[in-house]
Amino acid sequence: MTAQQAAPVRRMRRAERREQILDAATRAFARAGFAATSLDDVAAEAGITRVILYRHFESKTDMYRAVLDRACTRLVEQVGADDFGGEAIPSLLRAAAADPDGFRLLFRHAAREPEFRDLTDTLTAASVEIARKNLAPRIPPGPWADWASRLIPTVAIESVIAWLDAGRPDPDAAAERIGAAIHGVIQAAQPR
């Protein structure tokens, strides 16, 4: 087959290419974090050149921020933004299972990267406020309500990450088990 007979190479549309790059960047950053991942690592993961990366992102920082923003948007779309009702934990598990690398980036890697701490601080503050609002009918205001409001989001996130890291065991019972841990926090915060 000559070069003229070869099938033409289909060029990706800009939006498709950007998504491909974000997918590859998510995988690459999830393996080693922001500082230890180079643009060459991302380009290799995507099967493209650095030149193509720069057509879509001004810098590694810009790309990482886009990866985190996308992961955050996906999380909010799956979980919602303001309720700890009966579907909150199953929704959180589904979101983490659908995008495990993005989930780990948001809650494990980005929290350790000073340059991106603003995003994780915003997520943490919002989670604490949502927990406080949802716990208000169960726990009287005071230091134990504050304690539970801070601990519950941490227990939920760390439980989901541990579940991912353990290979996603028993997905049908995972929400119930994580819920039991959270209910233990609520129980411990009750007035005695």
Local confidence band at 38 (pLDDT 50, 70, 90 cut-offs): very high
Tokens 């030149």 belong to residue:
51
Name all contacts of 59-66 with Cβ < 8 Å and 24+ positions apart. Answer: 60/34, 61/115, 63/21, 63/22, 63/25, 63/39, 64/25, 64/29, 64/34, 64/116, 65/116, 65/119, 66/22, 66/25
Dump the DSSP string for 135-154.
Answer: HTTTS-SSHHHHHHHHHHHH
Residue-wise pLDDT for 49-68, tens only, equals 999 999 999 999 999 999 99
State how many domains the chain has: 1
Share of the chain above pLDDT 70, in %: 92
Taking residues 93-115, what's their average pLDDT? 92
pLDDT tens string 99-109: 999 999 999 98
For residue 101, tell me if it sits in a domain. yes
CA–CA dist 74, 46 (Å, integer): 21
Tell me if 85 is assigned to some domain. yes
Distance, in Å, from the CA atom of 169 to the CA atom of 160, rounded to the nearest integer, reads 11
In a domain, 1, yes or no: no
Q: How confident is the model over 151-160, as pLDDT tens digits?
A: 999 999 999 9
Q: Is residue 44 part of a domain?
A: yes
- Overall residue count recorded for the chain in this entry: 192
Q: Does 80 fall in a domain?
A: yes
Q: What pLDDT is recorded for position 9? A: 46
Asked if 12 contacts 20 with a C-beta cutoff of 8 angstroms, the reply is: yes
pTM for the model stands at: 0.84
Between the alpha carbon of residue 67 and those of residues 71, 81, 96, 161, 164, the distances in Å are 6, 19, 15, 18, 19
Q: What is the pLDDT of residues 133-186, one digit of tens each?
A: 999 999 999 999 999 999 999 999 999 999 999 999 998 899 999 999 999 999
Instruction: Say which CATH number the domain at 184 has.
Output: 1.10.357.10
Q: Is residue 142 part of a domain?
A: yes
- Considering the domain boundaries, does residue 157 fall inside one? yes
91 located within any domain: yes
First and final C-alpha spacing in the chain? 82
Has residue 129 got a pLDDT over 90?
A: yes
Per-residue pLDDT at 80 = 76
**CA dist., res. 70 & res. 25, Å (int):** 11
pLDDT for 61: 95
Distant-in-sequence, close-in-space partners of 7: CB < 8 Å, separation ≥ 6: none
> What type of residue sits at position 116?
F
pLDDT band for position 86 (cuts 50, 70, 90):
confident
Question: Range of 81's domain?
Answer: 14-189
